[in-house]
Amino acid sequence: MKNTIKGDITELEVDAIVNAANSNLQGGGGVDGAIHKAAGAELLKASLALGGCPTGEARITKAFNLPSKYVIHAVGPIWKDGNSNELELLKSAYWNSLVLAHENNCKTIAFPNISTGVYGVPKIEAAHIALETVSKYLNEVNSDISVTFVCFDELNFQIYKELCPTFKLNND
Ligand code: AR6
């Protein structure tokens, strides 16, 4: 199943929260900053030890002081002009996060709106990619995982509230 909420992803008691990370996995601002702040310094040590992550891929660490079990560090694209493979890379970031969640026996996962902050991917396009990719994964690969889209800003929340129900799952 999938659902949308408005809130702070660091507060969720799910198996895995996804971080909108950068490819150095060195922490940063936005949701990345909030996750590192709430998880504590051990998270930075663990993520730096991974040696980076290319755009479109994802890596996993423990969640340390967070209420979730794991943090999946997904690297979304920086928006350039829309013709630089941005949406494909965003799709891969969502897909690879779900694969990693499944490999680590996660049944509940929460995503922020990857790349829609400082990375500048237009919010409506990004929401379509997120919903399409997650729905495809749940319908075609593994329906045994519950996905929450966590919107922090009001505009993303309005977009997801409207779009989410239009992406049907086989078991809806
Ligand atoms: N919980 C959930 N969502 C949040 C939170 C939160 N606590 N805080 C912000 N958001 P951004 P990006 C939303 O900029 O565009 C970092 O510096 C926010 O409203 O965090 O992928 C990294 O290190 C927005 O919708 O990530 C990278 O360098 C969404 O999170 C770079 O920013 C993503 O905004 C990644 O940029």
* 20 CA: nearest ligand 1 atom: 21
What's the pLDDT band for 168 if we cut at 50, 70, 90? very high
Q: What is the pTM of this model?
A: 0.98
pLDDT score at 171: 83
> Can you name the CATH fold of 2-171?
Leucine Aminopeptidase, subunit E; domain 1 (3.40.220)
Cβ of residue 47 lying under 6 Å from some atom of ligand 1: no
What are the boundaries of each domain within the chain? 2-171
- Percent pLDDT > 70 in the chain is 100
Kindly report the three-state secondary structure assignment for every residue of the chain. Answer: CEEEEECCHHHCCCCEEEEEECCCCCCCCHHHHHHHHHHCHHHHHHHHCCCCCCCCCEEEEECCCCCCCEEEEEECCCCCCCCCCHHHHHHHHHHHHHHHHHHCCCCEEEECCCCCCCCCCCHHHHHHHHHHHHHHHHHHCCCCCEEEEEECCHHHHHHHHHHHHHCCCCCC
What are the tens digits of pLDDT across the range 61-113?
A: 999 999 999 999 999 999 999 999 999 999 999 999 999 999 999 999 999 99
Asked if pLDDT for residue 24 goes beyond 90, the answer is: yes
Q: What is the mean pLDDT of the chain?
A: 97
